[in-house]
Structure 1
Amino acid sequence: MKQSLDVETFAKSLTDKGYDGYFQTEGGYADKIKDSISKFLEACNDGTDKPNLPNILMLKTYLQWNGEDKPKIECNMWVKHEDGLFDVQKMNIERKDQYGQLLKQSKLTDLSTSSIPTRKEAIAQVLDTPKQEFSSRKRGFGMR
């Protein structure tokens, strides 16, 4: 079920799902999600900025950051924006190495704000989980 939310409720929904870091709206306005969106919309109203796509805002955040020299996980969200209401449409989650090379990616489409994965679930989609190795040693009781 698609449901558009006002900026306050939209920000709270994402924060409740673990997206509580800093965001960039349309490549600028780095701040917490509500403040980043508000600053961008204010810039649009005074004519100093405009969205790249009509009625769509691009939000970017890091889901995992351990420094410049370590791999990182980025998240890009395309958010429908009409009449002051917001709803996530699609999401790209990318794990990149310290040089910016793509290691693994997940693309999620046909989303809504309520259906996006939590931050931990999003991270898990691009992590390489090691395969479980089974010991060849026999299990059982030993007589000593």
Structure 2
Amino acid sequence: MKQLLELDTFAKTLTDKGYDGYFQTEAAYADKIKDSISRFLEACNSGMDKPILPNIMMLKTYLQWNGDDKPKVECNMWVKYEDGLFDVKKMNIERIDQYGQLLKQSKLTDLTTNSVPTRKEAIAQVTEKPKEQLSARKRGFRM
């Protein structure tokens, strides 16, 4: 059963799952998740902004960032909202190299806020497991 959550509960649920970084709501309003959504909704109420899709807002955040010269993991969430209640509908997780090229992607659909994977699980979906290293042996003849 799908369950819509009010903003405080929605933000706490995602924060408890490890999504505690900065978000952008509809490609603007960079802040912690609750503050970003609140600022976007205030802008909508004042007529300064509007959602691209009706009753759907897109949240974007980095799940892993190790600097501009290293690969990063981004997360896009499509969140349904109606009458002040929120629920995650789908999620894209992408591992991108330092040049912006997609390395690996995972698309999750038919989600609820409670079924969203934790931050570590989401990162693991797009991270290659390290290959086994052979021990470095000196090659050649011994005397």
What TM-score does the superposition give when structure 2 sets the normalisation length? 0.91
User: Within 5 A, what are the aligned runs for 1:84-99?
Assistant: 84-99=84-99
Identity within the alignment, %:
81
The one-letter amino acid of 1:128's match is E
Q: Do residues 118 (structure 1) and 121 (structure 2) align?
A: no
- Secondary structure at the residue paired with 1:107? strand
2:53 is matched with 53
1:76 is matched with 76
The gaps in structure 2 that reach 5 residues or longer are 136-143
- Secondary structure at the residue paired with 1:52? coil
Shift of 1:68: 1.1
The gaps in structure 1 that reach 5 residues or longer are 136-144
Shift of 1:132: 4.9
User: Within 5 A, what are the aligned runs for 1:1-144?
Assistant: 1-132=1-132
In 2, the alpha carbon distance for the partners of 1:49 and 1:3 equals 27
In 1, the alpha carbon distance for the partners of 2:89 and 2:32 equals 20
In 2, the alpha carbon distance for the partners of 1:76 and 1:38 equals 18
In 2, the alpha carbon distance for the partners of 1:2 and 1:114 equals 10
Structure 1 residues 55-93: Cα deviation after superposition (integer angstroms, max 9, x where no partner): 001000000001111110000000001000000000000
In 1, the alpha carbon distance for the partners of 2:24 and 2:38 equals 11
- Secondary structure at the residue paired with 1:41? helix
In 1, the alpha carbon distance for the partners of 2:134 and 2:81 equals 50
Which segments of structure 1 move beyond 6 Å, counting only runs of 4 or more?
none
The one-letter amino acid of 2:107's match is K
User: Aligned residue pairs: how many?
Assistant: 135
